[in-house]
Amino acid sequence: MQRLEAEVRRALQDPALIERFRGLSLETNPLGTAEMAALWQQELATWPPLIRELGITLDG
C-alpha cells in the first residue's frame, strides 16, 4: 500500500497531469491514506445526515 501511495503522489505532482486536470476544472490534492481516511470519515459525518434531513432521494 505504501508503494501505491508513493506512486500516486508522484503522478499527481507531474506538471502535465496537473495541467490536464486544470483543463477539466480539477485540482490535484494528493492525500496519504491516513489523511484520506480522515477526510472520508468527515464527509460521512456531514453528508448522509444532511441528505436524510433534506429528504433528498435519487430519481430513477
pLDDT of residue 60 exceeding 80: no
- 33: Cβ contacts below 8 Å, ≥ 6 apart: 1, 5
**Number of structural domains in the chain:** 1
Q: Which helix (H) or strand (E) holds 12?
A: none
The model's pLDDT over 5-59, given as tens digits with 9 standing for 90+, comes to 889 889 989 999 999 999 999 988 888 889 989 999 999 999 999 999 999 998 8
Q: How far is CA 38 from CA 32, 41, 55, 57, 60, in A?
A: 10, 5, 26, 26, 32
Q: Is residue 59 part of a domain?
A: no
Check residue 32 and give its pLDDT: 84
Q: Is residue 47 part of a domain?
A: yes
Task: Record the pTM.
Answer: 0.59
Check residue 54 and give its pLDDT: 95
Q: Is residue 40 part of a domain?
A: yes
Q: Is residue 18 part of a domain?
A: yes
Q: Is residue 60 part of a domain?
A: no
30: containing domain: 2-54
- 23: Cβ contacts below 8 Å, ≥ 6 apart: none
Joined together, the cell numbers standing for residue 4 give 501505491
Q: Is residue 12 part of a domain?
A: yes
Check residue 40 and give its pLDDT: 95
